[in-house]
């Protein structure tokens, strides 16, 4: 399949290589050590494919071998190895596990053929053009992933679906419908398992919107994130 429009990049830049101890050595011999995540841009592991239409916030990490197309990552969000993400808008602090697929591109179910020869036609004939209208329709069907979400390993979120803030998609689930905030969904097709928290706590967290705090505030309150329950955290910071 054609990967035109994508660039394969390594960790940080294509001029860096990773050692087993977590350090990164550039071709000029400079040693980059942890913390490696950067306030100025994303942190790419080796062999990623990133297109020119994707955007990344501060402290973002893209796992080895991931493919990102027409997608925006909010601050602090990351994906693990071999994620495949297309036509997506991802909030802040999203946790996307290995081999997850978001915005999986679809095929024309209503046409005589499902095959992409009739929209990637220039891959097959010198005198045929791509079907740009088809690609425009596909790119417009965005998947939306909220803040502080968890997308499990090998899960799939279909185009046009919204996963609400704080929601969890279990490993291997296939999400075909919107997921309410702070809801855990499992299965194929994904269905609600339970709420993460009480309705009152969910509403309070949404109102607090801690994901909009600046980097210094997050560091200042780090121990409370670690030690306090959600309810106790809210009592302290509302």
Q: Cite the DSSP H helix spans in the chain.
A: 132-140, 199-208, 215-220, 222-227, 230-237
83 closest CA partner among 136, 157, 148, 21: 157
The conformation of residue 45, written as its DSSP 8-state character, comes to P
Residue 104 is predicted with a pLDDT of 83
Strands 43-44 and 78-79: unpaired
Question: In terms of C-beta density within 10 A (0-12 exposed, 13-18 middle, 19 or more buried), how is residue 144 classed?
Answer: middle
List Cα–Cα distances, 167 to 56, 110, 151, 173, 207, in angstroms.
21, 33, 8, 13, 16
Please check the confidence at residue 2 and state whether its pLDDT lies above 50. no
Q: What is the pTM of this model?
A: 0.85
**Interval 81-112: pLDDT, tens:** 999 999 999 999 999 999 999 998 888 889 99
Q: Hey, which residues are catalytic here?
A: 107
Please check the confidence at residue 156 and state whether its pLDDT lies above 70. yes
**Interval 183-198: pLDDT, tens:** 999 999 999 999 999 9
**Interval 212-227: pLDDT, tens:** 999 999 999 999 999 9
At 222, give phi and psi (nearest 5°).
-55, -45
């Amino acid at each position: 399949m054609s990967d035109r429009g994508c660039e394969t990049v390594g960790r940080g830049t294509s001029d860096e290589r990773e050692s087993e101890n977590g350090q990164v050595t550039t071709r000029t011999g400079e040693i980059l050590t942890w913390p490696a995540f950067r306030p100025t841009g994303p942190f790419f592991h080796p062999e990623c494919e990133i297109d020119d239409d994707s955007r990344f916030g501060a402290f973002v990490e893209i796992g080895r071998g991931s493919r990102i197309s027409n997608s925006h990552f909010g601050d602090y969000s990351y994906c693990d190895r071999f994620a495949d993400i297309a036509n997506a808008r991802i909030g802040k602090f999203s946790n996307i596990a290995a081999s997850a697929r978001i915005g999986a591109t679809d095929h024309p179910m209503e046409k005589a053929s499902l095959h992409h020869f009739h929209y990637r036609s220039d891959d097959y004939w010198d005198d045929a053009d791509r079907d740009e209208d088809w690609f425009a329709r596909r790119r417009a069907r965005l998947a939306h992933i909220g803040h502080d979400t968890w997308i499990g390993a090998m899960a799939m979120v279909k185009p046009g679906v919204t996963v609400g803030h704080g929601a969890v998609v279990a490993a291997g689930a296939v999400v075909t419908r919107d997921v309410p905030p702070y809801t855990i969904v499992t299965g194929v097709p994904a269905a609600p398992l339970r709420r993460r928290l009480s309705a009152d706590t969910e509403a309070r967290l949404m109102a607090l919107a801690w994901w909009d705090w600046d980097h210094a505030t997050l560091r200042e309150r780090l121990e409370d994130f670690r030690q306090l329950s959600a309810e106790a955290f809210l009592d302290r910071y509302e």
